[in-house]
Structure 1
Amino acid sequence: MKLLRKPKPNPNQLSLQLDLFAPEPEQGQSPAQQISPIQDPGPALPSPTLQPPLIVTPTPVVHAAPLPSPVVAPPTTLVPPPTSRPADGKRRIQLGEHTLDYALLRSKRSTIGFLVSDEGLRVTSPKWVTLAEIENAIREKQRWILSKLNERRERSARRLQPQMQWCDGATLPYLGADITLRIRAGQRAAVYLDEDARELNVSLPADAGEQQLKDRVQGWLQARAEELFGKRLIVYAEKLGVTYRSYALSSATTQWGSCTADGRIRLNWRLMHFALPLIDYVIAHELAHLREMNHGPQFWATVQSIFPEFEIAKKALRDSAPETLPIF
């Protein structure tokens, strides 16, 4: 079986990447909310001349590092039940029916900033701002704050769930729906999918171990990814009227895709776990960089021109990753 090996990156190539972990900044978000901005790599590129896309067989890439465990149902409350008093170094505020503890940091900055992390909410404020003004600012932003705290809590809960068990009868997400793994001895094909039964039949020796099963399934997923991504790239390149130079599969643990200024596109094979609209969104996103090598308003308008429902897909992909992915 042929596995993929990741080539060394070229430091001289300009590229933009679609991250697994870092969410895109929300539209209309206050500058005071501390979210790392996406760097603008340079001016927009002119539209290339129309030529048939050149599809290059992906060069080998190594196995990616393990990713967290599958998704579970979200918690039923936005914030945990408060104790009798806030933890040391924290303050407490009542937001309707929710009691929120937060850390307050005074600094020389000129505005009030909010940062939500696994440790909770941290508020950074100028020294001259009163506590009443700080709490009023928290109340104004409470919808955003509670939403981000809930997202963090959901991710933490997912990480605590048991990992997928690689065995006969286990389920694997494929194109947005589960398929069942079936280990068969002596079949002619190494791996084949029974579409009607929704079963992925894997031929293995009787004494095969878990890693051999993982390798067979990963190789099959990568082969299907190479075929599907190639077809979808042609569709969306024609819609946008751009030409990419080549594409290859990626095993990156932090990006779903990337695009260089000279038209080299890389797409993460793990996208095969998700439904086709999410795959199409990533492909449209990367191809749009051939028009706009940034993440400004013109870039998102370009994405929308060929993928109108991109906002829904972007949110679904962000909410699903990376804890929903099996560990290979």
Structure 2
Amino acid sequence: MAEATDVQMLSFTARSVPLVFQQNNRARRIIMRLDYGSSRIVVVLPKRTSRDEGKRFVLSNKEWIAERLDQLPETVPFEHGAVIPFLGVDHRIRHRPNARGVVWCEDQEIHVAGQEAHLRRRVADWLKLEARREIEMRAHAKAEQIGRKIKRITIRDTKSRWGSCTSEGELSFSWRLILAPRHVLDYVISHEIAHLKEMNHGPRFWKLCGELCRTVNASREWLEENGTELYRYGR
């Protein structure tokens, strides 16, 4: 398993980007990728490869990095007036300092009571709670449909995958799926539930996945085209 060992800053004309080195003894070559979730460059180093070698590799590909940094979408913080997707539908955040309660959704608006200093955290907490509610409801229903049981469901802010499933029946999902359209959320849940029965991506797995979700192809295409956009929000 790769493990972060060092963080440096890589400077460009208009910005500086964190450069994270990870050592992975199973890697056969230096691997470089842009982490869209945290806007950082991750460099995976094979066994007996120094960070200096890794940095030289990065500098030789600086133009490639610059091009991808330019493609990063503009961030949208959780603040009054911001428009964010909720289950794929745009909602505007409204700060209601004198209102009672915490956060509620009404007429495509997300209302946030209390002090402005707490607004960002409250919106994030509300979205994570909604993600858990929606995911748990759908996941348990689908697991029952195929005669399997879920040991545990974890909601995280994952960077490399939207969901995962272990052989012990432990599922993990990104809370950012609550920002995606319902059919995309449903597909990711169906995908991981199918793994409870088929721990592979063979024909039987995809057949079962299709039985659990009617929009497999369309949802996969949506994630490929729009998935990185979900990392714009709350940053």
Instruction: Give the TM-score normalised by the residue count of structure 1.
Output: 0.49
Amino acid in structure 2 at the alignment position of 1:280: D
| Shift in CA distance, 228/185, structure 1 to aligned 2, threshold 3 Å | same
Q: Paired residue for 2:46?
A: none
Structure possessing the higher relative contact order (Cα contacts under 8 Å, 6 or more residues apart): 1
| SS of 2:229 mapped into structure 1 | coil
Q: Pick from 302, 308, 311: which aligns with 2:217?
A: 311
Percent identity for Structure 1 against Structure 2: 30
Please give the per-residue CA displacement for 1:267-315, whole angstroms capped at 9, x wherever unaligned. 1111000111111101110011111111122211221122232111111
| SS of 2:196 mapped into structure 1 | coil
Amino acid in structure 2 at the alignment position of 1:183: H
* Richer in helix (by share): 2
Amino acid in structure 2 at the alignment position of 1:188: R
Amino acid in structure 2 at the alignment position of 1:262: E
Q: Paired residue for 2:185?
A: 279
Q: Pick from 182, 185, 200: which aligns with 1:294?
A: 200
**Alignment of 1:255 onto 2:158:** no
Shift of residue 254, structure 1, vs aligned partner: 1.3
Maintained 8 Å contact 1:246/1:265: yes
Amino acid in structure 2 at the alignment position of 1:193: C
Shift of residue 182, structure 1, vs aligned partner: 0.6
Q: Which has the larger radius of gyration?
A: 1
Runs (5+) with no aligned partner, structure 1: 1-64, 69-117, 120-152
Q: Pick from 62, 66, 80: which aligns with 1:168?
A: 80
Query: What pairs up with 1:1-328 in 2 under 5 angstroms?
Result: 66-67=37-38, 119=64, 158-159=71-72, 161-194=73-106, 196=107, 198-205=108-115, 208-209=116-117, 212-325=118-231, 326-328=233-235
Runs (5+) with no aligned partner, structure 2: 1-35, 40-62
The aligned length equals 175
* Richer in strand (by share): 2
- Greater shift in the superposed pair: 238-247 or 178-187: 238-247
Shift of residue 165, structure 1, vs aligned partner: 4.7
| SS of 2:162 mapped into structure 1 | strand
| Shift in CA distance, 166/327, structure 1 to aligned 2, threshold 3 Å | closer
Please give the per-residue CA displacement for 1:228-261, whole angstroms capped at 9, x wherever unaligned. 1111012211332222222121221111111110
Hey, which bits of structure 1, 4+ residues long, moved more than 3 A? 65-68, 155-158
